[in-house]
Structure 1
Amino acid sequence: MRQCWHLVNFDKWTTVLPRGAKTCQFITSLDGAEVLGSLAVPDLNGALSPESELARSREHNLASRLVTLPQEIFDDIVAELPDAEYVLSLALTCSYLWRVLLPNVKGAIIAIEAPWAGDRLIFVGDYARGFPPNCKDYENGNMPEREMDPGDGVDAEMVNENPLYFGINRCILPRWPSLEVVMKDQAWDCPDIQLLLRLVTMLRSHPGSKRPGVLRNLTKQQYVLDSKLAESKYPYSLVEAIVVRTQWTESAADGLDDWVGDRFDIRSIEHVPEGWTDVSDEAIDLIGNAAIRSLRILDLEDWELTSYQVELTSYQAEHSRAWIK
């Protein structure tokens, strides 16, 4: 019997809401679109206001008691804010605080728009046992307790033997909430939300543009170019490059397993440091081979996809790349 698989965020102890559990179903479905959106870090301008502009802005907002607080007290308040939404709400108090809190604002936007960036990912099969060598954090009683549902057929022994597959029932949302939705939930549709959206648009380095993405393996200092995947005969998205190299299982994997538990994000090409290795061609070969084997295409010649599969994968690629901002 063939394995079933889940893509797991080890640091968030969360899995992707499954619509296709077999390897081939994950690769040829649109399940990866949510993963792409949660890994894609927006490009934000880093310029801060000149000291003279900050001083003028402060004078214009002295009616706010927050502005007149000693800096160390204000810093303590900011440090105690529990979530990104609270940072953004505080920054909207006045123009001075928006400028002062700009680094915090950028961090809050990234936390909301790219909540999986920098996290460890694993494509785990139901034959797996225990944890990969670089993912031991939850052993010795530190693993979050699973909410047991008698109806799903999972018991404590299954969770103990294969905690990454059976021990997680928190799922990523089918569509990750936008900045506007998150702030509306927090601020009860406050009119300042539209101001926030305008200010955030001004912060974006490339507002409204669609730029090729780069999957970065932060652990191995390697990267995969979305533009190369799009030009290949297997036009899948960047998430499949993760899937074929993070497989954790007891039996032989379709691809490689040298990325299991590594940390990933998706950035624009300007954020690839010098000296990193381009592994796009490797990813294309592994994705193509995994798709072909999984789909059990027996009448292939020279590893060519049928016209139906080319049409299917092209449709998948078009919709999966919708995350690019």
Structure 2
Amino acid sequence: MGQYWVFVNIDKRQTSGFLGKLGEFFSTTTSHSLMYLLAIPAVPLRLESTSANPSTTREFAGAWAGDRIVCFGDYARSWPDGIDGDSLQTVTTSDEDYEDSEGESESPQLLFMASCREYTYVDRGYKWELSYPHDHNWALRNITRKLYVRSDGIPTIDDKKNLTYYIQYGLRGFPGLGQVLLTNILWSDDDSTSMPFSDVQGSWAGDRLDIRLMDDVAEELQEEGWKDISRQEAIKLYNILLQESEVEGDLPDEPAESL
């Protein structure tokens, strides 16, 4: 049957709700919601005073920046390193209310997620292209480990299924920072993903993350000795997409002006 996945903000106790099987949404725009939750806008969001649909639960773009983030599979039975599951207060209910189809008690992770608030959509405001310009370079940062990935360090697919560094779309490129996120924050104790990639205990799961304009943080990254891992992430994505038959040809070298 496969397992379903959900974005979870440990600190704000929020979730995306279950997203489906990884192989079904890996190459879609599903990861964009998480990217925009982590991305500090270039200029303040221009927001409507009220939601167009009062019944929806929205979260604002940038609201998760700096928080501990995990993409849990519903077969997770353990916590990522650094997350003290015992300290996370879960819902108080009888075990009978949280039994699976085989009569077994649900995992602590699912109980924790049941206590979280689920957002319905991410509000980027109107004229959001000003807040998240596609012609700028962005940095996905792992604050916990002082690592970063540049949006222009991930080559995108052209119309011939080749990867190129010469077509860039900021946060909207494919592959892009959304796929980098997915391959690093998964957490489960079962490696079923509905795709060849099966590293379901990502080294970033539970780390503090954000996305910033490169121009805004370049000096900080250099002065504090952050490590640029864009190339290794590009290689990882290339191998995944090659197995999925989504790309052809070789992984190109990164242009010197991007380094």
TM-score above 0.5: yes
Q: Is the 8 A contact 1:244 1:254 kept in 2?
A: no
1:107-122 alignment, distance < 5 Å: 112-122=60-70
Alignment partner, residue 24 of structure 1 = 23
Cα distance in 1, alignment partners of residues 248 and 134 from structure 2:
33
Q: What is the TM-score normalised by the length of structure 1?
A: 0.52
Confirm or deny that 1:134 pairs with 2:82: yes
| CA offset digits 1:43-65 (Å, max 9, x no partner) | 459xxxxxxxxxxxxxxxxxxxx
Q: Judge conservation of contact 2:77–2:109 (CA < 8 Å) in 1.
A: yes
Q: Which residue of 1 aligns with 2:187?
A: 248
Contact 2:185/2:202 (CA < 8 Å) preserved in 1? Answer: yes
Corresponding residue number in structure 1 for 2:123: 177
Which residue type is aligned with residue 240 of structure 1?
Answer: Q
| Pair 1:177–1:131, CA change in 2 (3 A) | same
User: How far off is 1:170 after superposition?
Assistant: 3.2
Change (3 A) 1:282 1:254: farther
Residue 217 of structure 2 corresponds to residue 278 of structure 1: no
- Greater strand percent: which structure? 2
Task: Give the deviation of 1:231 after TM superposition.
Answer: 4.1
- 1:125 positional shift: 1.8
Aligned CA RMSD, in angstroms, stands at: 4.0
Give SS of 2:179's match: helix
User: Whole-Å Cα distance in 2 between the matches of residues 131 and 151 of structure 1?
Assistant: 19
Aligned residues: 208
Percent of paired sites with the same residue: 22
How far apart in 2 are the matches of 1:30 and 1:4? 17
Q: 1:16 to 1:292 in 2, by over 3 A?
A: farther
- Counterpart AA for 2:187: W
User: Which ranges of structure 1 fall in alignment gaps of 5 or more residues?
Assistant: 46-84, 86-110, 181-196, 198-203, 298-303, 308-325
Q: Deviations over 1:68-88 (max 9, x none)?
A: xxxxxxxxxxxxxxxxx9xxx
Specify the SS of the correspondent of 2:81. coil
Q: Could you tell me which residue of structure 2 aligns to residue 40 of structure 1?
A: 39
Among 214, 219, 238, the alignment partner of 2:144 is 219
Q: CA 1:211–1:231 in structure 2 vs 1: closer, same or farther (change >3 Å)?
A: same
Gaps of 5+ in 2: 48-58, 158-162, 165-173, 192-196, 250-259
* CA distances 1:29-52 after superposition (whole Å, capped 9, x unpaired): 22111112111112459xxxxxxx
Residue 261 of structure 1: CA displacement?
0.7
Distance 1:117 1:207 in 2: 14
Q: Which residue of 1 aligns with 2:238?
A: 288
C-alpha separation in 1, matches of 2:182 and 2:134: 27
Which TM-score applies when normalising by structure 2? Answer: 0.64
Query: Which whole-Å CA distance do the structure 1 matches of 2:202 and 2:132 have between them?
Result: 37
Does the 8 Å contact 2:31/2:182 carry over to 1?
no
The code of the aligned residue for 1:139 comes to: D
2: CA distance, partners of 1:249 / 1:207:
32
What letter corresponds to residue 247 of structure 2 in structure 1?
A: L
Whole-angstrom distance in 1 between the partners of 2:78 and 2:132: 44
